Amino acid sequence: MKHLSEAKKAVRDLAPRIIEMNRCIFERPELNFNERFAAGHISSALAEEGFAVRAGAGKLKTAFDATWRGSRKGPVVAILSEYDALPNIGHACGHNMIAAASFGAAVAVRRLLGKNCGTLKVVGTPAEEGGGGKLMMIKEGWFKGVDAALMVHPANHTRTVARMLAVMEIEFKYYGKASHAAAHPELGINALDAVIMLFNSINALRQQTPNFSRVHGIVTHGGDAPNIIPEFASAKFFVRGITMADFRYMLAKVTDCAKASARATGCKLKVVKNPLVYQPFEPNRTLGKVFRPYAEALGLKDAGIPENEEIGSSDIGNLSQVVPCLHPEFAVSDPHIVNHSREFLKAVVSKRGEDALLKATTALAATVCKLFADKTLAASVRREFETFLKNR
């Protein structure tokens, strides 16, 4: 636990700045790809600490990376930063905490190791909440040469290792025929009926879906007036699976339901798939075995929730298919107060939340220090990742 006691001291010295960063990003919530203040604030704080900052451009103008190069041959370790907020509800996912932890952990590691390390990076990844910032960054090569990528995420429970679901958004648009709903309903083709049948057949499908799959949707258009047979109706769904195979199976089944309801009603169907597919998240368990004892020694006790349960989706899923990743959650609230709620919004700047933030930052810093110090660890992380690639 040598790395832990050192990290503890370093994070304690940085605590006022970590808390300050947590709060000032919280105060200025910014949406997908518009996180100008946050990206500028984090990267200039890292520049002041000696990191070489590269700013993003184009659509990724709020991406950045900040690099500290040691003099030793060693792994390239990326600490991931997220800083986008949610529409209307601000930082209710607590990405302000992720930003503050990435800054705190990186600076703590730099102060502890100086030049006695490989390459340490903070990678600022915009638009996690639906924008797929990491997908674009992977395409542009921001993670080339990275041996491990780590971050921490606030949640309603503490858990080091959890998987996440693949997800895609899909919209079904039905085109029927308008008619007088009382005088001549027989001349109409009811597009709303197609949407209702779609929901009913998906609900029947739920009994036969693979474990942990999810499908959930809303009606985006349901007609224009009760006295007109709806000529247009539409619905949007998220389709999720724990593996790409399950995800593809679910997508095919849901699409079949949509086609069947078009056929039954006589509507024409247009299927609009969002091209962003978040892939399943595969945590690197070797990294998890290092992080967890550090977190627990600091009082962040793992809640013991199985790794396939209480999970969502994230663009780090795609990154975990190309780089070994760790995405531990740390509790900032009671279990019934969950991310994306008004109560969670309060928790991410509460005393309890910020205490947990400092602990998670410390465990993250200690894990990164160990990765630089212990040559066999980076090799084991790689070995586990290669086995995963072979078997996926």
**Contact yes or no for 328/360 (Cβ under 8 A):** yes
Output the CA–CA distances (angstroms, integers) from residue 84 to 29, 74, 137, 279, in the order listed.
7, 31, 15, 20
Q: Looking at 59-67, 89-97, 163-171, 346-354, which segment touches Zn ion (CB under 5 A)?
A: 89-97
Q: Looking at 30-38, 46-54, 93-101, 184-192, which segment touches Zn ion (CB under 5 A)?
A: 93-101
User: Which of residues 93 and 235 has its CB atom nearest to Zn ion in the complex?
Assistant: 93
Mapping DSSP to helix (H, G, I), strand (E, B) and coil, where does residue 381 land?
A: helix
Containing H/E element for 80?
strand 76-81
User: Which of residues 32 and 362 has its CB atom nearest to Zn ion in the complex?
Assistant: 32
- Rounded to 10°, the helix 2-27/351-373 angle is 130
Q: Looking at 88-96, 133-141, 326-334, 355-363, which segment touches Zn ion (CB under 5 A)?
A: 88-96
Residue 44's CB is within 10 A of a number of other CB atoms, namely 12
Output the CA–CA distances (angstroms, integers) from residue 225 to 11, 192, 230, 231, 232, in the order listed.
61, 12, 8, 11, 11
Q: Looking at 68-76, 87-95, 203-211, 271-279, which segment touches Zn ion (CB under 5 A)?
A: 87-95
Which ranges of 93-212 does DSSP label H, i.e. alpha helix? 95-113, 133-139, 191-205
Rounded CA-CA distance 8/10 in Å is: 6
Q: Is the dihedral of CA 192, 193, 195, 199 positive or negative?
A: positive
Rounded CA-CA distance 4/207 in Å is: 47
Binders of Zn ion among 186-225, rule CB under 5 A? none
Question: How near is the Cβ of 302 to Zn ion at its closest, in Å?
Answer: 19
Mapping DSSP to helix (H, G, I), strand (E, B) and coil, where does residue 148 land?
A: strand
Question: How near is the Cβ of 225 to Zn ion at its closest, in Å?
Answer: 37
Q: Is 164 in the site for Zn ion (CB under 5 A)?
A: no
User: Which of residues 109 and 164 has its CB atom nearest to Zn ion in the complex?
Assistant: 164
**Three-state DSSP string of 275-298:** CCCECCECECHHHHHHHHHHHHHC
Question: How near is the Cβ of 383 to Zn ion at its closest, in Å?
Answer: 29
Question: How near is the Cβ of 130 to Zn ion at its closest, in Å?
Answer: 9
User: Which of residues 4 and 348 has its CB atom nearest to Zn ion in the complex?
Assistant: 348
User: Which of residues 99 and 189 has its CB atom nearest to Zn ion in the complex?
Assistant: 99
Mapping DSSP to helix (H, G, I), strand (E, B) and coil, where does residue 136 land?
A: helix
Question: How near is the Cβ of 84 to Zn ion at its closest, in Å?
Answer: 9
- Rounded to 10°, the helix 244-265/191-205 angle is 140
Question: How near is the Cβ of 339 to Zn ion at its closest, in Å?
Answer: 5
User: Which of residues 131 and 188 has its CB atom nearest to Zn ion in the complex?
Assistant: 131
Question: How near is the Cβ of 183 to Zn ion at its closest, in Å?
Answer: 49
Closest by Cα among 178, 268, 279, 191 to 235? 191
Q: Is 93 in the site for Zn ion (CB under 5 A)?
A: yes
Q: Is 92 in the site for Zn ion (CB under 5 A)?
A: no
Binders of Zn ion among 259-278, rule CB under 5 A? none
| DSSP bridge partners of 55 | 64
User: Which of residues 131 and 176 has its CB atom nearest to Zn ion in the complex?
Assistant: 131
Kindly state the tokens that stand for 206: 């739920």
| DSSP bridge partners of 175 | 232, 268
User: Which of residues 39 and 93 has its CB atom nearest to Zn ion in the complex?
Assistant: 93
Q: Looking at 18-26, 90-98, 162-170, 383-391, which segment touches Zn ion (CB under 5 A)?
A: 90-98
User: Which of residues 278 and 372 has its CB atom nearest to Zn ion in the complex?
Assistant: 278
Question: How near is the Cβ of 204 to Zn ion at its closest, in Å?
Answer: 30
Q: Looking at 18-26, 86-94, 259-267, 283-291, which segment touches Zn ion (CB under 5 A)?
A: 86-94
User: Which of residues 93 and 168 has its CB atom nearest to Zn ion in the complex?
Assistant: 93
**Contacts for 38 with CB less than 8 Å, ≥ 6 apart:** 25, 28, 30, 62, 83, 84, 96, 99
Q: How many residues bind Zn ion (CB under 5 A)?
A: 1
Q: Closest CB to Zn ion belongs to which residue?
A: 93
Question: How near is the Cβ of 94 to Zn ion at its closest, in Å?
Answer: 7
The residues binding Zn ion (CB under 5 A) are 93
